[in-house]
Amino acid sequence: MSYLVFSVFVCLLCAHLPTTKSEHSVPYKVGYIDQYVDHFNFARFGNQTFKERYLIQDKWWDKKNNGPIFFYTGNEGPIEAFWKASGLMFDLAPRFGALILFGEHRYYGKSLPFGPSKSFQRPYIGLLTMRQALADFAYLINSIKKQHGAEKSPVIAFGGSYGGMLAAYFRMKHPSVCDGSIAASAPIYLLNPKFDHSFFFTDVTKDFSESVSGCVPRIKRAFTKMDQLMTEGKKGLAMLTKYFQLCQPLTGKAAYTHLLGWIRNAFTNTAMFDYPYATNFLPVGNPVKFSCDHVLSAADDISGLAAASGIYYNATFGPLKCFDISKEYVSCADPTGCGIGPNAWAWDYQACTDILLPPGSNNVTDMFPILPFNDTLRNEYCMKTWGTKPNPDWAYWGQDLRTTSNIVFSNGDLDPWHRGGVLKDVSKSVRAFMVIGGAHHLDLRGHNSKDPVSVIKVRGQEAKMIEEWVMKAKKSRQSIST
């Protein structure tokens, strides 16, 4: 899941827009805080702590006037990666006089409660939960406030994707700490076991179908021809190895299935990050169209599929002479992708506990091969891997949004996650904004000259909501102090 919409609102941002770079270079200071290993059971670990990492920048902070704290709720990866992809916070900080703070999620990056090995072993991995992470964030913010004399500063949370879910839940669970949240591309309804989770690969397919005519049929034909080659045994496997320029030859059904997952993962990420400009992880703007152009211009169907898949991995891992699919893609409890390395282990565990994720592909409602991963298969995998399984009985929380306030849920209609999110206003203070022509949390990224008008409008609406929340919080704190 692993990662990040002209009206009256345009002028709210225009005074502080940076250059057209979308991956900003704002420096940060790295800090560590002694964070409790377990916030809810002191009998087991007592007061044992670990070092939680955070990033901070105070160059715009108006401390004298209790400027707000803009807090990023770190998600499934090293925190510096989200710093680079969350330019909206830096675009807005000068206007609001904000202190910027990014908190790293426990069990990701360098915030490992029991070290790089033990943290991912049972039973220690059991302390990786959303509730623990939210408690970490609350403790971090309160500690930073004390250190910097910022007790009266309002706190606005920002997050994208899983981080967007956390930003929303942070406001719900810790309203005394968080005064409002921008929850970008946050599919919070996935935690409802009764919600239809089957939309994801259908919407990935829709992105490619609507981008270039004829793209999806050719992709489907390529998968069919790959299956036909598989029936030829070693000869077919050798041909597939050559088509996809694999470092290690395919040796059988398991390796072939992993290749199919590797291909699907490339198309999934291309759809999620279909931004109108190049990024540090995709080399071109409008990568869905770029991939389809390769699919359609290739000499044959499988060559086109291979070329389109290689675009993503060449950009992610740098120019490759061959593709090592065992290192570039990890099969896990999340069919949409877990990433690689220790971060993948952590997300795999969360996909087996407190996150309910989409099923696999079916080749009927989507363009991908039949790679099933239903609740039964997921439970079997999770029990075998972690000794647990997703528990919707306690994961289903925070769904009645009428009980909360001060949250913006933003989504892009190109984002294959958007149907799992909040698409309609719930109240005057729980709003839903749609970025037409926007991919995964495009609004959270920094200003770019190629941004669609819709994302400029949504960012302006978000700025207006933040202004209301900050003014209300300051007024409330002032009345209490007097």
Query: Which residues are part of the catalytic machinery?
Result: 161, 415, 440
SS3 category, 191: helix
> Do β-strands 430-435 and 407-412 pair in parallel, antiparallel, or remain unpaired?
parallel
Q: What is the DSSP string of 220-241?
A: HHHHHHHHHHHTTTHHHHHHHH
CB atoms within 10 A of CB 104: 30
On whether the CB atoms of residues 207 and 271 are closer than 8 A, the answer is: yes
| C-alpha span between 225 and 207 (Å, rounded) | 23
- CA distance linking residue 273 with residue 161, whole number of Å: 12
DSSP per residue, 436-470: TT--TTGGGSPP-TT--HHHHHHHHHHHHHHHHHH
β-sheet bridge partners, residue 430: 407
Place of tokens 């309609």: 424
DSSP 8-state code for residue 149: T
- Buried-state track 182-211, b at ≥16 Cβ within 10 A, e below 16: bbbbbbbbbbbeebebebbbbbbbbbbbeb
Closest by CA position to 168, among listed 109, 160, 176, 67: 160
Residue for token digits 């990666």?
81
